[in-house]
């Protein structure tokens, strides 16, 4: 296997295993290369791992934009730069060919923050919808003199979508 080079510093990346997943760390800039799906896999196993990884690896050099094109450590193809979650100011670099992602030092923590903010922004309408649903259900229950009748109706409603149109 060819050595994997940091797209920023062009020094050899160091493989490190976390939760059974081998990621590649740059010993100089502390950027991390995730092969396709590794980022999601790690986050799925433990959603607190990403900010921890960010803190675990500290850069030896100040983060900078190299004058050369960032190349995929695996395929050596030019990386494609994009904004995480479209609107954030976090620039990630991914490889269209292998699906890997390069994350500069500090970006993992920012990503988690942006994701938390996005989730928090989504919570009130969701909670509201759930509350409304529970209230509607409670009202519906109250109007039903017979709980048994209500449960039969509920079963009927659940069965309905299966009836072919
Ligand atoms: Zn580097
Ligand atoms: Zn690649």
**What is the distance in A from the centroid of ligand 1 to the CA of 8?**
5
Number of H helices, E strands in the chain: 4, 6
Query: How far is residue 33 from each of residues 21, 103, 107, 144, measured CA to CA in Å?
Result: 12, 6, 12, 59
Ligand 1 midpoint to CA 72 (Å): 12
The ligand that comes nearest to the alpha carbon of residue 101 is 2
At a CB cut-off of 8 Å and minimum separation 6, what does 3 contact? Answer: 12, 13
Q: Which residues contact 108 (CB under 8 A, 6 or more apart)?
A: 32, 50, 51, 53, 54
pLDDT-based confidence at 62, cuts 50/70/90?
A: confident
> Position of tokens 């919570």?
123
pLDDT in tens, 13-47: 999 999 999 999 999 999 999 999 898 899 889 98
The pLDDT mean for the chain works out to 81
All residues at 6 or more sequence positions from 63 whose CB lies less than 8 Å from its CB, including other chains: 8, 29, 104, 105, 106
Query: With contact defined as beta carbons under 8 Å apart, do 6 and 26 qualify?
Result: yes
Q: What pTM value is reported for the model?
A: 0.71
Residue 117's pLDDT is what? Answer: 81
Residue 46 CA to ligand 1 center (angstroms) comes to 25
pLDDT band at residue 89 using 50, 70 and 90 as cut-offs: confident
Report the share of the chain in percent with pLDDT over 90. 50
**Other Cβ atoms within 10 Å of 77 Cβ, number:** 13
CA of 93 to the centre of ligand 1 (A): 13
Name the band, by pLDDT with cuts 50, 70 and 90, for residue 85.
Answer: confident
Question: Which listed ligand is nearest to 5 at the C-alpha?
Answer: 1
Query: Which ligand has its closest atom nearest to the C-alpha of 36?
Result: 2
> 35: CA distance to ligand 2 center in Å?
8
As a whole number of angstroms, the distance between CA 101 and CA 118 comes to 21
Average pLDDT, stretch 82-97? 88
Q: 156 to each of 90, 141, 146, how far by Cα in Å?
A: 49, 15, 15
pLDDT, position 88: 83
Tell me, in angstroms, the distance from the centre of ligand 1 to residue 92's CA.
Answer: 14
* 6 Cα to the center of ligand 1, angstroms: 5
Q: Please give the pLDDT value at position 134.
A: 59
Taking alpha carbons only, the member of 61, 67, 53, 51 closest to residue 24 is: 53
CB atoms within 10 A of CB 159: 9
Give the pLDDT mean for 67-79: 95
Per-residue CA distances from 13 to 17, 27, 97 (Å) = 13, 7, 19
* Centre of ligand 2 from the C-alpha of residue 76, in Å: 6
Ligand nearest to the CA of 71: 2
Pick from 38-47, 95-104, 109-118, 141-150 the range whose average pLDDT is largest: 95-104
Q: Looking at residue 98, what is its pLDDT? A: 96
CA–CA distances in Å: residue 41 to residues 35, 49, 50: 10, 11, 11
């Amino acid at each position: 296997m060819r050595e994997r080079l940091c797209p920023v510093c062009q020094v050899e990346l160091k493989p490190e295993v976390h939760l059974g997943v081998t990621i590649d760390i740059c010993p100089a800039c502390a950027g991390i290369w995730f092969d396709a799906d590794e980022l999601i896999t790690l986050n799925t196993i433990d959603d607190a791992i990403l900010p921890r990884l960010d803190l675990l690896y500290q850069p030896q050099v100040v983060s900078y934009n190299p004058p050369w094109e960032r190349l995929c450590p695996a395929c050596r193809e030019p990386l494609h730069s994009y904004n995480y979650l479209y609107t954030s100011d976090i620039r990630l670099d991914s490889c269209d060919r292998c699906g890997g992602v390069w994350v500069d030092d500090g970006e993992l923590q920012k990503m988690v923050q942006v994701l938390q903010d996005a989730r928090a922004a989504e919570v009130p309408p969701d909670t509201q919808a759930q509350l409304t649903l529970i209230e509607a259900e409670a009202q519906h229950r109250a109007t039903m003199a017979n709980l048994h009748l209500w449960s039969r109706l509920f079963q009927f409603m659940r069965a309905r979508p299966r009836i072919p149109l």
